[in-house]
Structure 1
Amino acid sequence: MADQDAQSPVGIEPPALPSIRWAGLPEGPAVVLLDQTRLPAEEVELLCTDVPALVRAIQTLAVRGAPLLGIAGAYGVALAAIRGDDMAEASGLLELARPTAVNLGYGVRRAAGAYWAALDRGEGARRAAAVALAEAEALHREDAEASRRMARYGLALLEELLPGGGHQLLTHCNSGALVSGGEGTAFAVALEAHRAGQLRRLWVDETRPLLQGARLTAYEAARNGMAYSLLTDNAAGSLFAAGEVDAVLIGADRIAADGSVANKVGSYPLAVLAQYHHVPFIVVAPTTTVDLQTPDGASIVVEQRPGREVTELTSSRIGVGGEAGGVPVAPLGTQAYNPAFDITPPELITAIVTEEGAVSPVTGVGLAELCARSSQVTIS
């Protein structure tokens, strides 16, 4: 990848995959992303030198995953501040780039709040921009630490629920280093099990229509030497019926106050299958993904993606980048239903694992207690 020696924030241990980093280039600052639309065929970095470029990267899924979007949003605010852009406009563009992932707005508001607070203290625009960047770097560090803690808590929960090891874990979409400042959320738990010699197999849902499981999770599993198998989404039921799934691990893009979870579409059917087959269904996400202002699942705004993602096969879906070259796979004029996420109610969830521990059974009271605990913890 290009520009390998550009700086990472002080105190951040670079993950195996540098999904995002800040670069102070001679020609000006940039948010540098590993372009996820080009994976697994190519590892190509995308330089975003202004907020509109970063917004396009978010909307085209060059960068994705709730925790990573929070980091991207915070770095975007810092980028706008250093460039001297209209901060209110830049923050608004970033926060609205994708509506469902709560971390994006959190990261934007956190860095922007630090910027405005510095101005209120009379520190001047240049100093305020530096403060915004420092806040983004702090969020990056915290997310990496949260990833490590979630992995440990998640493995401990698996050991409690499934004593003896040899786990066969099913996951959906991508929840590894490509969504995080560290090694991920749900995938990080599977990786921890692998390192402890307790992972027998990772079952990877392909995750239609954009194939994040096939392109991204399989890519990360291969890089880490994990035993894994890829399956079409509609093959999961046969795995459950054959007794080949010990637990389901997924991430989350937003968790409502009652414990309802928005995650990549296809997650809810897995929860139904898991309940029928008496298999634990575990959600792994940082407390920054919990949105106590959204009361329940019905209140979560679910992003609707373009229909062409379903009706066409584009080059970006097979990992060679670009927007052109769509090959129709349905008759011309076919209408498509393409929600990016679905909602899993709390009664179908065995546990929600965060960096502050696990909630089981999943209740609003338990989530609120974890969030309150998190706000009192300083991660260093």
Structure 2
Amino acid sequence: MALESIRYRRGSLSILNQLLLPEQLRYERVDGAERAWEAIHSMEVTSPAIALVGCLSLALELAGRCRGCRCRDAAFVEQRLRFLLTARPTAVNLHREAERLRERLREWSRSPGITAVGSERHIEGLLAKDRADNESIGAHGAQDILRRVPAGVPVTILTHCNTGSLATAGYGTALGIVRALHGQGRLRRVLCTETRPYNQGSRLTAFELLHDNIPATLIADSAAAAAMRDCGVDGESREGPTAVAPNGDTANKIGTYQLAVAARHHRVPFYVAAPSSSCDPAVPSGTHIPIEERPGRELTHLQGALPGIDVWNPAFDVTPHDLITGGVVTEWGVVPASDVRRALAERAAAGGQ
């Protein structure tokens, strides 16, 4: 059975505390937006599951506030959304889901009998949609990777950070591609980076791959270029990024940019696996994407460095679109990075989200 990062039943929400992995597998109750804010801010839960946990915590509060009665709760929803968004200001998935919920509220405001239950049901549907989108990402990504290699030849995938069931409602984004390849018998091995300084790769991805019996090898971040040269890496899949700009630039876990540069040098196709909620039309290019800087303590204390030294600890970096040679893998299909703006416009014109 696959790991679950989120356990939700109407009126009950629990999350797997990822700060305790791999030593402890412990689910903790989230009883509302205050606890969700804490979990998101402290990285007990990671992107893109951040959006799901934030919105589901709001569904709990709506249920407790309204208890089935009909009422207009748009002001309450807006206030709680604004609060949740402060937990990780650069998490574009949460911002996009917040805006979608606001759009629904605006639609409902034009009709009689708005109910908080309508908001609850919309939020609860996000879980099923997230898994379905991830399965589509997996299928599209695997198909595109396999067209680049001879028939029947298994591939090796290098991943960065955490991209699977622990980061989503299930299946995963980049690890969704891995699962699809594995299911078709076309996966030779996954190379997962440590993903320092927070070690989401060694603590989370490696744990998940072992749990699911997927052949995997953990490597140091600094070994990635050598792995591309020496280990026959055939495809490079990335975590669902914090943001994809309309010009195709992406912001993702720190270290992604240098991997893209190494992949270009070694002629390895480099992919970004991202749900459409990561595509932010409001940000024209990567230079406009705000980069979260994490506490210096994550370097000076978690890794045993000397206290007192100056620290620069960005959580993400920007990969220019011309280095994303494989394309951006979304639930709609694989889009050339330079065509993201056009693809977004076409989906919007067709009424898609």
TM-score (norm 2): 0.90
Are 1:53 and 2:35 matched, yes or no? yes
Q: Distance in 2 between matches of 1:371 and 1:288?
A: 12
Are 1:81 and 2:56 matched, yes or no? no
Pairing partner for 2:328 from 352, 369, 378 = 352
Q: Distance in 2 between matches of 1:62 and 1:299?
A: 27
**1:312-365 Cα shifts (integer Å, max 9, x gaps):** 12xxxxxxxxxxxxxx71222122111111100100002111111111253344
Q: Which amino acid aligns with 1:308?
A: R
Secondary structure at 2:317 match in 1: strand
Q: Distance in 1 between matches of 2:92 and 2:165?
A: 19
Q: Distance in 2 between matches of 1:240 and 1:135?
A: 43
Q: Distance in 2 between matches of 1:180 and 1:193?
A: 19
Deviation, structure 1 residue 232: 0.7
**1:192-212 Cα shifts (integer Å, max 9, x gaps):** 111111111100000001110
1:293 corresponds to: 282
> Conserved in 1, the CA contact under 8 Å of 2:225 and 2:263?
no
Q: Which amino acid aligns with 1:259?
A: G
**1:196-245 Cα shifts (integer Å, max 9, x gaps):** 11111100000001110001111111122111100110111211222532
2:138 corresponds to: 151
Q: Which amino acid aligns with 1:37?
A: L
Are 1:225 and 2:201 matched, yes or no? no
2:21 corresponds to: 39
Deviation, structure 1 residue 89: 2.6
Are 1:105 and 2:105 matched, yes or no? no
**1:354-377 Cα shifts (integer Å, max 9, x gaps):** 111111253344432564377437
Q: Distance in 2 between matches of 1:39 and 1:189?
A: 23
Are 1:135 and 2:135 matched, yes or no? no
> Conserved in 2, the CA contact under 8 Å of 1:176 and 1:184?
yes
**Residues 279 and 48 of structure 1, relative CA distance in 2, 3 Å threshold:** same
Over the aligned positions, Cα root-mean-square deviation in angstroms equals: 2.1
1:8 corresponds to: none
Q: Which amino acid aligns with 2:53?
A: A
Deviation, structure 1 residue 157: 0.3
Alignment of 1:309-324 (within 5 A): 309-313=298-302
**Residues 40 and 130 of structure 1, relative CA distance in 2, 3 Å threshold:** same
2:2 corresponds to: 16
Q: Distance in 1 between matches of 2:337 and 2:296?
A: 37
Q: Distance in 2 between matches of 1:98 and 1:64?
A: 10
**Residues 167 and 373 of structure 1, relative CA distance in 2, 3 Å threshold:** farther
> Conserved in 1, the CA contact under 8 Å of 2:248 and 2:341?
no
Q: Distance in 1 between matches of 2:182 and 2:340?
A: 32
Of stretches 272-281 and 138-147 in structure 1, the one that deviates more from structure 2 is 138-147
Identity %: 33
Secondary structure at 1:201 match in 2: strand
Deviation, structure 1 residue 187: 0.7
Q: Which amino acid aligns with 1:201?
A: R
**Residues 197 and 174 of structure 1, relative CA distance in 2, 3 Å threshold:** same
2:69 corresponds to: none
Alignment of 1:207-246 (within 5 A): 207-246=195-234
Q: Distance in 2 between matches of 1:188 and 1:161?
A: 18
Deviation, structure 1 residue 163: 2.7
**Residues 373 and 230 of structure 1, relative CA distance in 2, 3 Å threshold:** farther
1:341 corresponds to: 316
Secondary structure at 1:32 match in 2: strand
Q: Distance in 1 between matches of 2:248 and 2:309?
A: 36
Mark the runs of 5 or more structure 1 residues left unpaired by the alignment. Answer: 1-14, 314-327
**1:252-294 Cα shifts (integer Å, max 9, x gaps):** 1210111011111011000000001100001111111111111
1:12 corresponds to: none
> Conserved in 2, the CA contact under 8 Å of 1:115 and 1:131?
no
> Conserved in 1, the CA contact under 8 Å of 2:17 and 2:26?
yes
> Conserved in 1, the CA contact under 8 Å of 2:33 and 2:54?
no
**1:92-135 Cα shifts (integer Å, max 9, x gaps):** 111221122211112223335445654664436xxx22111101
Q: Distance in 2 between matches of 1:244 and 1:290?
A: 31
**Residues 361 and 53 of structure 1, relative CA distance in 2, 3 Å threshold:** closer
> Conserved in 2, the CA contact under 8 Å of 1:91 and 1:112?
no
Deviation, structure 1 residue 90: 1.3
Q: Distance in 1 between matches of 2:8 and 2:113?
A: 23
Pairing partner for 1:95 from 62, 80, 85 = 85
Q: Distance in 1 between matches of 2:242 and 2:97?
A: 14
How many residue pairs get aligned? The number is: 341
Q: Distance in 2 between matches of 1:154 and 1:370?
A: 21
Secondary structure at 1:161 match in 2: coil
Secondary structure at 2:131 match in 1: helix
Secondary structure at 2:282 match in 1: coil
